[in-house]
């Protein structure tokens, strides 16, 4: 006997984070003790590099609300970085700073990465077709690849500019104005980075998180301009390019973090804690004796589930269907960002090796 049931209507969920985190990794230790200061410091650094949130109460589940939040984050950050780049461009014209020009171009490029993401968010809203039966949510993940390409270009440009500056030193005027513009660039990028990453975690968008990491990488280039200007003011003309190379290494670290986020999403990686919770949710459904198989995957910033559960072999077809329906409703009610579930039932006596409650 086999009964399949599928549903994809809107729903509400109970609390669970389960996004872009691997809960098998070592948890942060905030307890008091001899090494408490180190744990707090490491947690802060982790937030600067990866940008994450443990507050599941801030998570956004409704698909339309999540789309609106994502587009709003992109538009606001686009405007913010546009203003930052415009202010820096004025200082470039006054000072002739090549380093600041490069930083300004970085900020322009970072702002423009919002465009493919906005397009992806729009495309992802299109309904499924006979050709794209799962819909167009993957457009968001493809946009994440574009963001990775932009971070890579930023890294290459920063390295090239630093080496070129070592070989061909440049005189920079108005160091105070250059330093101030660099501070504006760093602060502007960091604010945008935190905003994009926070909203990306809230709505389950790996691409938006990666775009936030891109903004953070460009913030590092602004920091290089600031430190380089300070070095030049102190008479160390080699400071600008050397610090630029150091920042290039920092951008490589950001690229690695972004690549892990986007790559995991493209490979259908799901937090094992979410899988465990979904399994437990199914097992707590009346009539479900075991879970033979459970698969979860991200489609854009929503989850889909496919499960094979075992039920009493003596149940009628109608009764088995009712169990499948109850299991599906249970999943949709309890698993965050789950938009659809397909449940198949099999007679328990044919599968003695199944996972039981």
- Summarised one tens digit per residue, pLDDT across range 273-289 is 999 999 999 999 999 99
Taking only the tens place, the pLDDT of each residue in 190-207 is: 898 999 999 988 888 888
Domain end point (choices 266, 290, 312): 266
Domain co-membership, 221 together with 163: yes
Domain co-membership, 261 together with 279: no
Q: Is the predicted pLDDT of residue 254 greater than 80, yes or no?
A: no
Lowest mean pLDDT among 31-35, 93-97, 275-279: 31-35
Contact between residue 320 and residue 1 where contact means Cβ atoms under 8 Å apart: yes
Question: Per residue in 97-115, is it b (16+ CB within 10 Å) or e — as a string?
Answer: bbbbbbbbbbbbbbbebbe
Domain membership flag for residue 344: yes
User: Dihedral angle at the C-alpha atoms of 310, 312, 313, 316, nearest 10 degrees?
Assistant: -110
Domain co-membership, 81 together with 229: yes
Domain co-membership, 196 together with 223: yes
Domain co-membership, 279 together with 293: yes
Structural domain total, the chain: 2
Lowest mean pLDDT among 93-107, 138-152, 172-186, 285-299: 93-107
pTM for this model (two decimals): 0.64
Domain end point (choices 266, 298, 331): 266
Domain co-membership, 124 together with 256: yes
Taking only the tens place, the pLDDT of each residue in 289-306 is: 999 999 999 888 789 999
Alpha-carbon span 295 to 308, nearest angstrom? 9
- For residues 251-277, average pLDDT: 88
Q: Pick from 192, 187, 170: which is nearest to 223 by CA?
A: 187
Domain membership flag for residue 193: yes
Domain co-membership, 88 together with 179: yes
- For residues 43-69, average pLDDT: 49
Alpha-carbon span 277 to 262, nearest angstrom? 23
What is the per-residue pLDDT for 151?
Answer: 78
Question: Residue 5 is inside which H or E element, if any?
Answer: strand 3-7
Share of the chain above pLDDT 70, in %: 75
Taking the alpha carbons of 205, 206, 207, 211 in that order, is the dihedral positive or negative? positive
Alpha-carbon span 75 to 252, nearest angstrom? 26
Domain co-membership, 69 together with 191: yes
Q: Is the predicted pLDDT of residue 50 greater than 60, yes or no?
A: no
Domain co-membership, 203 together with 292: no
Q: Is the predicted pLDDT of residue 253 greater than 70, yes or no?
A: yes
Q: Is the predicted pLDDT of residue 153 greater than 90, yes or no?
A: no
Range of the domain at 165: 59-266
């Amino acid at each position: 006997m086999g009964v399949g049931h599928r549903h994809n209507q809107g729903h509400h969920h109970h609390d669970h984070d389960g996004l872009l985190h691997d809960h098998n990794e070592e948890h942060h230790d905030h307890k008091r003790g001899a090494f408490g200061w180190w744990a707090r410091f490491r947690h802060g650094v982790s937030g600067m590099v990866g940008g994450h949130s443990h507050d599941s109460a801030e998570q956004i589940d409704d698909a339309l609300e999540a789309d609106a939040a994502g587009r709003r984050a992109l538009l606001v950050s686009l405007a913010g970085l546009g203003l930052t780049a415009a202010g820096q461009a004025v200082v470039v014209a006054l000072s002739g700073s090549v380093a600041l020009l490069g930083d300004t171009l970085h900020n322009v490029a970072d702002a423009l990465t919002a465009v493919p993401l906005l397009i992806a968010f729009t495309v992802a809203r299109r309904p499924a077709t006979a050709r794209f039966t799962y819909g167009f949510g993957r457009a968001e993940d493809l946009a994440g690849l574009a963001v990775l390409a932009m971070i890579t270009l930023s890294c290459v440009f920063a390295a090239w500019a630093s080496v070129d500056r070592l070989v061909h030193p440049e005189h920079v005027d108005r160091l105070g104005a250059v330093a101030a513009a660099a501070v504006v660039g760093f602060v502007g990028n960091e604010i945008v980075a935190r905003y994009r990453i926070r909203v990306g975690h809230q709505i389950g968008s790996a691409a938006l998180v990666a775009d936030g990491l891109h903004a953070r990488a460009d913030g590092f280039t602004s920091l290089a301009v600031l430190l380089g200007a300070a070095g030049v003011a102190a008479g160390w003309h080699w400071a600008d390019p050397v610090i630029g190379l150091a920042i290039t290494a920092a951008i490589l670290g950001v690229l690695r973090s972004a690549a892990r986020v986007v790559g995991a999403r493209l490979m259908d990686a799901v937090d094992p804690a979410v899988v465990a919770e979904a399994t437990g949710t199914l097992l707590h459904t009346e009539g479900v004796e075991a879970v033979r198989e459970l698969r979860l995957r991200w489609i854009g910033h929503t989850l889909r589930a496919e499960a094979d559960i075992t039920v009493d072999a003596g149940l009628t077809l109608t009764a088995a269907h009712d169990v499948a329906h109850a299991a599906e409703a249970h999943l949709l009610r309890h698993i965050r960002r789950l938009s659809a579930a397909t449940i198949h039932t099999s007679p328990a006596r044919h599968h003695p090796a199944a996972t039981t409650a």
